[in-house]
Structure 1
Amino acid sequence: MSSRIEALRQAFRAQFGGAPSFFVRAPGRVNLIGEHTDYNEGFVLPMAIDRDVRLALAPRADRQVHVFSLNFQQTDRFSLDDLQQTEITAWSNYLRGVAWALQNAGFTLTGFDAVIEGNVPLGSGLSSSAATELATVTAFRALGNLAVDPVQAALLSQTAENDFVGVKCGIMDQYISSLGQAGHALLIDCRSLAYEAVPLPTGVQFIIVDSGVRRGLVDSAYNERRAQCEEGAQRLGVTALRDVDPAQFERLAADLPPLVAQRCRHVVEENARVLHSVAALQRGDVAAFGLDMDKSHVSLRDLYAVSHPALDTLVEIARAAPGCLGSRLTGAGFGGCTVSLALTEHVQAVVDAIRDEYPRRTGLTPQIYLSGAEAGAGVITAEA
């Protein structure tokens, strides 16, 4: 029996005096390529990771939700008939928001007792928030036998985060947490919301490294970049930068203000890189995929200016290690994580190089996670 499941079971018994009826989970994610393309209606390629948020739960006879967080050692109680934000147990706003979004969509919800626990690192850019939302949708769906399909689950979770919690995220995090497939990344078209599972090759491993730098400038910089992209699209006469290919951009770039052109060039080329890298994966060309990862990082660093010296250092160390095929920052930038691709037999060498070199060069301690591509949210049927 999984130690995490047993810890949830014991905590549930201690808090509520009985046994849980269900265990549910939803994974965090890492974006393999396609950064700052989502709000330009472009393409992204995330994968679900083996770190997740889990709930042990049992139905209540009333319209109350009582949740104990193992991570925060706090209890939150709320009524499904009076869903308000709370500042006291801020982590519970994601659960409250999901209940609010489900009810607004016409679903009748069952109250429950639950213990929640997660091992997705908070604040690292691996999307603990989306994992919490999708785990909550899965809990309500399991208890009430609700007809919520995986796409609707993702969209309602995004609505909860946008309109209840107040964070204007895109759809990628919720989509991959809901729709992830074991052994596959997920190509998402952020305009149409179409998606395609992309098989990941064997013989390689993704290495996720948390730099230890928290993303301090991201809000103001994000808004500035977004405005520059919107200005570029308007000047180019298109709805979004998604509508411009690299050849067209070369012809038109001189008409843009230099800084706007620089930002737009990243987005246009990054969109093309996502599709190019998917084709590489589909034909098993891991070297080409790694090269696209490298190009993505250079573009994010030099054109979009969202990297950080710590992220650049991690990428440099990884790329210098034998068997590393590519490395890039992942997420919004200014801190957070990198993701690297290494041949399986060289993974330990890459990990050792990062563990040895990074603290020496930065004074920071990296957190290193190895993960395959996991399945999306669901009820835990095995004792896993």
Structure 2
Amino acid sequence: MNEIVSLHKKEYGSEPEVIASAPGKINLLGEYTEFSEGYVLSVAIDRYVQVAVSRRNDNSLRFYSVNYDERKKTTISNLKKKREDRWANYPKGVISSLLRIGCVLKGVDITIWGDIPEGIGLASSSAMAIALTVALKKLFELELTDVQVIEAARQSESVFLGQKTGISSFLLTYYAREGQAMFLDTRSLEYEYIPLEFRDHCFLITDTRIPPSLIEIDDEIDYYEDFRTIVDALSSKKSGSSLRDFTKKDLSLSIEGVSEDTRRRSMHILDENQRVLDMKGFLEQEDMVMCGRLLSRSHDSLRNQFDVSCPELDWLVKRALETQGVLGSRLTGKGYGGCTVTLIEKDKIGTYEEHLEEYERIFGFKAEDFICKPSSGVKIIYPEER
């Protein structure tokens, strides 16, 4: 915290009035299920975005990114998405969301720092949005409910940036508890906590380190529309509002106007929903063997049915499963690059890491790994709340 205080003061000439910190997250299971009101099992990680804010005497908005070492500025009356503003569009979106729901804001100086790797499925943008929303709520004494805070953060991306953004990352980043995973029903938004404090095992995150410029994500696919199309077709024969209301037998029937790719992706959603429900039970029973098997089955499905894996991810998963002490592994996030999450015995991590040297020789990227330590959600870290 001391670092962001000094950086904010150096940048703007005065210390911040409020600093909020929010964690990144990984999905243990439930990849892409949110696009059709499915189940998600996720956990906050001990990597964070910190946002420092202080009031100005005018209506100017100043943004300073420590990680990019860049500055951007605009005014409250001129909030617009600009391609050249890149990272600054995200905090602008938060302020726009708050103004849209009637919050009264003045000019603000904002400093953003984080140690969550960006663009690899660890929800760095969700963490920033939640942290900034909570910081501004404190700074301007805004009367916002928890739901309004989460929704304002989400709409910074879904409305201001026009992205297809679900709510699970924002909700987890806000409500996460230390030492626990969160099971979320994205239809009802009901959630449960599941203890993740294991004596001999842990979840290990491995970053492929594929440069974002080399990751080819198929942005042409609108998954919400994709699944809406098949649900509408199925609903003509059987009542249902999302894929979870149907069975694999329903999907195996002839469905007019639905591509084979959409059918395969839908099969993944049905299977993944069931895997989430199964893993919830196995985690509660501390059945690590079955949890590992579900991770690996999820990766197979994401590779074969959803088609979002890549050679680097497949290699990391395959090599992990060949390592003594590894119970399961899968890609996490959107795929095409990014990270894997691996269930492993703690005393076998060294052996696993030796294999990463081989990964670098083959692919030319130096993979990095770290233990997932389940962390708590967003908090005000300055001033300390009593």
Pairwise mapping of residues 32-43 of structure 1 onto structure 2 (< 5 A)?
A: 32-43=28-39
Question: Of residues 289, 293, 296 in structure 2, which corresponds to 1:287?
Answer: 289
Question: What is residue 341 of structure 2 aligned with on the other side?
Answer: 339
1:267-325 CA-partner distances (Å, limit 9, x unpaired): 11110110111111112222221111111011111122211111100101111112112
Q: Given that residues 65 and 111 in structure 1 are in contact (C-alpha distance below 8 angstroms), is that contact kept between their aligned partners in structure 2?
A: yes
Instruction: Find 2:166's aligned residue among 160, 165, 170.
Output: 170
> Residue type matched to 2:163 in 1?
V
Q: Deviations over 1:217-256 (max 9, x none)?
A: 3312x43x55553343233223211212xxx323651334
Change (3 A) 1:118 1:306: same
Written as runs of structure 1 = structure 2, the 5 A alignment for 1:1-384 is: 5-203=1-199, 204-213=201-210, 214=212, 215-220=215-220, 222-223=221-222, 227-237=225-235, 238-244=240-246, 248-250=247-249, 253-256=252-255, 258-353=260-355, 355-381=356-382
Query: Using the alignment, how far apart are the partners of 1:228 and 1:11 within structure 2?
Result: 45
RMSD between superposed Cα atoms in Å: 2.1
Quick one: which amino acid aligns to residue 204 of structure 2? Answer: I
CA offsets, 1:169-224, max 9 Å, x none? 1112211121211111111211122222222132222111121234313312x43x
Q: For 2:106 and 2:277, how far apart are their aligned partners in 1?
A: 42
Contact 1:49 1:372 (C-alpha < 8 Å) held by counterparts: yes
Is the Cα–Cα contact under 8 Å of residues 33 and 274 in structure 1 kept in the other structure?
A: yes
8 Å contact kept, 1:151–1:178: no
Tell me the TM-score normalised to structure 2 length: 0.90
Secondary structure in 1 aligned to 2:77? coil
Paired residue type of 1:130 = S
- Helix, strand or coil: the match of 2:335? coil
Residue 201 of structure 1 contacts residue 281 of structure 1 at CA under 8 Å; is this kept in 2?
A: no
Q: Kindly state the Cα deviation for residue 87 of structure 1 after the two structures are TM-superposed.
A: 3.1
Number of equivalent positions? 373
Q: What stretches of structure 2 of length at least 5 have no aligned partner?
A: none
SS at match of 2:79: coil
- Partners of 2:50 and 2:99 lie apart in 1 by 22
- Alpha-carbon distance in 1 for matches of 2:174, 2:183: 13
Give the share of equivalent positions with the same residue, in percent: 32
Q: CA deviation at 1:78?
A: 2.5
Q: Shift in Å at residue 381 of structure 1?
A: 5.0
Asked if the contact 1:45–1:187 (Cα under 8 Å) also holds between the matched residues in 2, the reply is yes
Q: Contact 1:218–1:332 at 8 Å: present in 2 too?
A: no
Unaligned 5+ segments in structure 1 are none
Change (3 A) 1:303 1:64: same
Partner SS state of residue 159, structure 2: helix
Q: Give the whole-Å Cα distance in 1 for the aligned partners of 2:34 and 2:289.
A: 25
> Which deviations, in whole Å up to 9, do the C-alpha atoms of 1:46-94 show, x marking residues without a partner?
2111111112232223333222211121222222233222333321111
- TM-score, normalised to structure 1, is 0.91
TM superposition shift of 1:14: 1.4
After TM superposition, give the deviation of residue 379 of structure 1 in Å.
0.7
The CA distance in 2 between the partners of 1:174 and 1:367, in whole Å, is: 25
The answer to whether the Cα contact below 8 Å between 1:29 and 1:127 also exists between their aligned partners in 2 is yes
User: Equivalent residue of 2:219, what SS?
Assistant: helix
- Structure 2 distance, partners of 1:144, 1:352, is 50
Task: Report the Cα distance in structure 1 between the residues aligned to 2:354 and 2:120, rounded to whole angstroms.
Answer: 21
For the residues of structure 2 that align with 1:349 and 1:58, how far apart are their CA atoms? 47
The Cα shift of 1:13 comes to: 2.0
Separation in structure 2 between the aligned mates of residue 85 and residue 73 of structure 1, nearest angstrom: 20
Distance in 2 (alpha carbons) for counterparts of 1:186 and 1:149: 20
CA distance in 2, matches of 1:201, 1:361: 35
Mean Cα displacement is larger for which, 229-238 or 306-315? 229-238
Between 144-153 and 19-28, the greater mean CA deviation after superposition: 144-153
Query: In 2, distance between residues paired with 1:180 and 1:132?
Result: 15
Task: State the Cα distance separating 1:143 from its structure 2 match.
Answer: 0.4
Native 8 Å contact 1:64 1:77 kept in 2: yes
Q: Which amino acid aligns with 1:207?
A: L
**Cα displacement (A) at 1:335:** 1.5
Distance in 2 between residues matched to 1:147 and 1:202, nearest whole Å: 39
Aligned-partner residue type, residue 361 of structure 2 = R
The CA distance in 2 between the partners of 1:260 and 1:19, in whole Å, is: 52
Q: Give deviations 1:95-126, integer Å, cap 9, x for gaps.
A: 11111111111222243223211111122221
Cα distance in 2, alignment partners of residues 110 and 182 from structure 1: 34
Distance 1:53 1:258 in 2: 40
Contact 1:307 1:329 in 2 (8 A): yes
